[in-house]
């Protein structure tokens, strides 16, 4: 199959393109950034540029849309709407023009909001930030492209809502937590009883690839690797792997952590650059972020890696022998 990946130079995209090429697919990549791993199939371009997207999709059998504004500190805030919604609209329009009838799209569990009771794909959305809101709107844009339920258009939309994704080379929340533990700079906020849904990049890429063979129609699936770990369990697992067995400072209450986070937000505004501590990161750390994965299990997908093996593998790669890289 000829697959056009849009936004494939990043963390998930690099792993996915590697997997697709190993499986024998012909792959192209359109991204604002060059690809360190797949420069031979990468073209520099913007998902909001119809001409660039048209060139990428011409001759393709399927498109995987990964491009997104996703960091907590994107500025201006309008970039979320411009990239996430505008990009989805361009891909939908160009797919219709070029005859591409299969779209695989990475959304996010952020559409549900925080501290929900294991929301399923049918739970009412309640995004708490612009990233989640605009990803939800992007889903609706692509739903219009695939057609109304019960109407056979021959098109396929495969939407995956992953939770926090981690893995080797990623510098997201899981790495940040591990780095704080490895350097002795970790301060526990909250009671640690909240559970965190997590997903290993190798498993997410493998599941996205199954969208290339999904039946026509609209598919929507939460993705998380089980079992869900409590924050305390996650911290203790990481401390063990990193060889950091000493006791950490006593936890501080959530309200105090949030107050400190707002203080760092004010400082970040003054110095005009993001800081590693913020109110939204404290809020995420203390939040219950699990989702219902019944529909995922019903697909019959068998993840290549267990969650604990993936965590061990990631920590061993990023912190060999527990050492913090220079």
Q: Which two tokens stand for residue 250?
A: 């006593």
131 catalytically annotated: yes
Element (H, E) at 44: strand 42-44
Residue 199 CB contacts under 8 Å (≥ 6 apart), including other chains: 162, 163, 164, 165, 166, 223, 224, 225
User: CA torsion 195→322→276→200, rounded to 10°?
Assistant: -50
Distance CA 211, CA 244 (A): 41
Residue 258 CB contacts under 8 Å (≥ 6 apart), including other chains: 279, 282, 283
SS3 288: coil
Distance CA 68, CA 71 (A): 9
Tally the C-alpha atoms within 13 A of residue 146's C-alpha that lie toward its C-beta: 24
The active-site residue, picked from 131, 175, 200, 223, is: 131
| Cβ–Cβ < 8 Å for 113, 280 | no
By the 10 Å C-beta count (0-12 exposed, 13-18 middle, 19+ buried), 323 is classed as exposed
How many whole angstroms from its chain centre is CA 134? 14
DSSP H helices in the chain: 11-22, 50-57, 78-79, 86-98, 130-146, 173-182, 201-210, 231-242, 254-271, 279-286, 294-298, 307-318
Q: Which residues are catalytic?
A: 131
């Amino acid at each position: 199959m000829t697959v056009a990946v849009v936004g494939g130079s990043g963390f998930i995209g690099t792993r996915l393109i590697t997997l697709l090429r190993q499986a024998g697919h012909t792959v192209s990549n359109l991204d604002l950034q060059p690809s360190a791993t797949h420069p031979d199939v990468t073209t520099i371009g913007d998902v909001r540029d119809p001409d660039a997207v048209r060139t990428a999709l011409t001759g393709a059998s399927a498109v995987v849309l990964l491009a997104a504004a996703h960091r907590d500190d994107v500025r201006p805030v309008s970039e979320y709407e411009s990239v996430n919604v505008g990009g989805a609209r361009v891909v939908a329009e160009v797919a219709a023009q070029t005859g591409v009838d299969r779209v695989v799209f990475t959304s996010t569990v952020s559409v549900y909001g925080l501290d929900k009771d294991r929301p399923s794909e049918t739970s009412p959305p309640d995004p708490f930030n612009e990233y989640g809101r605009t990803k939800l709107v992007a889903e609706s844009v692509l739903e219009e492209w695939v057609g109304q339920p019960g109407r056979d258009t021959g098109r396929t939309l495969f939407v995956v809502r992953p939770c926090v994704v981690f893995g080797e080379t990623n510098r997201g929340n899981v790495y940040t937590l591990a780095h704080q533990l490895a350097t002795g700079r970790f301060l526990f906020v909250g009671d640690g009883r909240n559970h965190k849904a997590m997903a290993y990049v190798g498993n997410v890429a493998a599941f996205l690839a199954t969208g290339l063979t999904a039946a026509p129609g609209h598919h929507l699936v939460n993705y998380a690797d089980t079992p869900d770990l409590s924050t305390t369990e996650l911290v203790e697992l990481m401390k063990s792997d990193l060889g950091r067995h000493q006791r950490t400072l006593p936890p501080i209450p959530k309200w105090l952590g949030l107050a400190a986070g707002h203080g760092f937000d004010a400082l970040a505004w003054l110095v005009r650059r993001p800081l590693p501590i913020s109110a939204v990161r404290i809020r995420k750390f203390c939040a219950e972020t699990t989702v219902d994965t019944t529909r995922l299990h019903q697909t019959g997908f068998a993840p290549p890696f267990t969650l604990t093996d993936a965590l061990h593998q990631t920590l061993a790669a990023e912190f060999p022998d527990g050492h913090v890289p220079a």
